[in-house]
Amino acid sequence: MKKLIWLGLAASTLLFGMGTAAVAGDNSENGSTHTSKPSTGCDTVIPGWRAPALNNPSDASALEIGCAVAAWQLRANNDLRYIEYQFPQTSYSRGWVKAAFYIGLDHFAAEINDPGLLARLRQLSNDFGAELGDRPWHGDDQAIAAVYGAVALRDGTPELMKKSTTQFDHIIEQNYTMSLEFTPPTQEGKEGDCQKRWCWADAIFMAPPAWALATRVTGDPKYADYAASETRDVIEYLQDPETGLLFRDSRYFDAKTPNGKPVFWSRGNGWVFAGLARFIDALPENHPELPLMRETFLTLADQLISIQREDGYWPTSLMDPEYLTNPETSGTAFFGFGLAWGLNNGLLEGEKYERARDKAWDAIRLAVTEEGKVGWVQQIGKDPQATTRDSSQLYAVGGTLLFASEMMD
């Protein structure tokens, strides 16, 4: 049974100097209407949104953690000098890096029914013109459509998904059938020519949930059907039959760590695990591909709880815990979210999953500063790399917000 996502909003004074707004009624995935959840605004948790937001992060509630990390990241969004190694993707408003943060922010804002945060998400959707990224054919640049879809469902404004579905229609018409093997790119903006399809593990987080939401907004099953078919293909192509984990892409099938172990990237599998949770949640209940998605999710869950570190983090290189021993929070946040979501929605049951979830939550809280900054984050990459206490990135904040949303009392 899926957890009820409360989407209603009452008219209220909004944060960030955005005035007041009244919003359309709640729209659930099956079209029924529910009573709005009472609002719990972050401005009541962090008056004035001032730092330090937390007195003791390791003892903070999920609401306090979520509000603190959201506040810190929103303040930092226009000045990213805190990120040591800058990549163009980081500052690009409609790209996957910021989209991952906005997806987490949307999930958290809807869970606590924060009028200010929900209004901010509505505003940015309009400010972005409800456009996909500059590479609309690329799964990474489709991630932001999940925010547009969520806003459209809350507000009853299906036109917000029109530009996304127009591009999705074009992709369906192209009927790409190239191999999922990474080969040298012939087009700018691609790592490999297979990227007009979803041939890398991260894509399971980036694209399928947005496509499934397009079906919820429009009522047309073709978007969910396309996403499910492509997701099946990438799972079958990249999943290791021995461990159940996914390789990041075909270039890692035979790759080894310096210790001679296979390379299974923590955040790469975090994208998969969290992406599957979001995709399962958005797919129609009777979709024929749901059994595969659930089976893959359960296989990953069982493998993940068996390799979690005692301190609650997962190894940066999942099958080589001796390589890169510092904490890594982006993978851990996504894994923790997936476990918490699975427990909340009845896909996972039992103390072993609860224990792993709680250890992960304790680990994430230890990585958050009193100001609300999430540390120990691996920077942009495609395989395991080093972290530091001060290293941060927007996608880890998004993962933390997803996790906090599922840890609410």
Whether 353 maps to a domain, the answer reads: yes
**Residues facing 16 on adjacent strands:** none
Q: DSSP assignment of 274-291, as one string?
A: HHHHHHHHHS-TT-TTHH
Assign residue 22 the CATH number of its domain.
1.50.10.10
The 10s digit of each residue's pLDDT in 92-138 is 899 999 999 999 999 999 999 999 999 999 999 999 999 999 999 99
Backbone phi, then psi, for 327, in 5-degree steps?
-60, 155
Q: Using CA atoms, how far apart are residues 184 and 74, in angstroms rounded to an integer?
A: 37
Q: Using CA atoms, how far apart are residues 297 and 277, in angstroms rounded to an integer?
A: 7
Q: Using CA atoms, how far apart are residues 64 and 51, in angstroms rounded to an integer?
A: 13
Whether 231 maps to a domain, the answer reads: yes
3-state secondary structure of 92: coil
Token couple for 241? 């039959």
Whether 3 maps to a domain, the answer reads: no
Burial class, 314, CB count within 10 angstroms (exposed 0-12 / middle 13-18 / buried 19+): buried
Q: Using CA atoms, how far apart are residues 383 and 5, in angstroms rounded to an integer?
A: 34
Backbone phi, then psi, for 265, in 5-degree steps?
-75, 130
Cβ proximity of 230 and 289 under 8 Å: no
pLDDT at 382: 96
DSSP category for residue 239:
B
- In the chain, how many domains are there? 1
The 10s digit of each residue's pLDDT in 7-60 is 332 222 223 333 323 333 334 333 333 345 777 789 888 877 676 778 889 999
Cβ proximity of 244 and 300 under 8 Å: yes
Whether 7 maps to a domain, the answer reads: no
Cβ proximity of 136 and 101 under 8 Å: no
Q: Using CA atoms, how far apart are residues 340 and 345, in angstroms rounded to an integer?
A: 9
pLDDT at 35: 43
Mean pLDDT for the stretch of residues 331-352: 98
The 10s digit of each residue's pLDDT in 175-222 is 999 999 998 887 776 788 899 999 999 999 999 999 999 999 999 999
Query: Which residue range is the domain that position 320 belongs to?
Result: 12-406
Catalytic option among 114, 202, 225, 320 = 202
Q: Using CA atoms, how far apart are residues 93 and 222, in angstroms rounded to an integer?
A: 28
Q: Is 202 considered catalytic here?
A: yes
Whether 2 maps to a domain, the answer reads: no
3-state secondary structure of 191: coil
Whether 129 maps to a domain, the answer reads: yes
The 10s digit of each residue's pLDDT in 159-181 is 999 999 999 999 999 999 999 99
Token couple for 164? 């996304």
User: Among residues 232, 224, 234, which one has the least CA distance to residue 195?
Assistant: 234
* Prediction pTM value: 0.91
3-state secondary structure of 344: helix
Q: DSSP assignment of 143-187, as one string?
A: TTHHHHHHHHHHHT-GGGGHHHHHHHHHHHHHT----SS----SS
pLDDT at 36: 58
Burial class, 298, CB count within 10 angstroms (exposed 0-12 / middle 13-18 / buried 19+): middle
Half-sphere exposure of 202 (CA within 13 A, CB side): 21
The one-letter code for the residue type at 344 is: N
Whether 163 maps to a domain, the answer reads: yes
Whether 79 maps to a domain, the answer reads: yes
User: Among residues 400, 368, 397, which one has the least CA distance to residue 97?
Assistant: 397
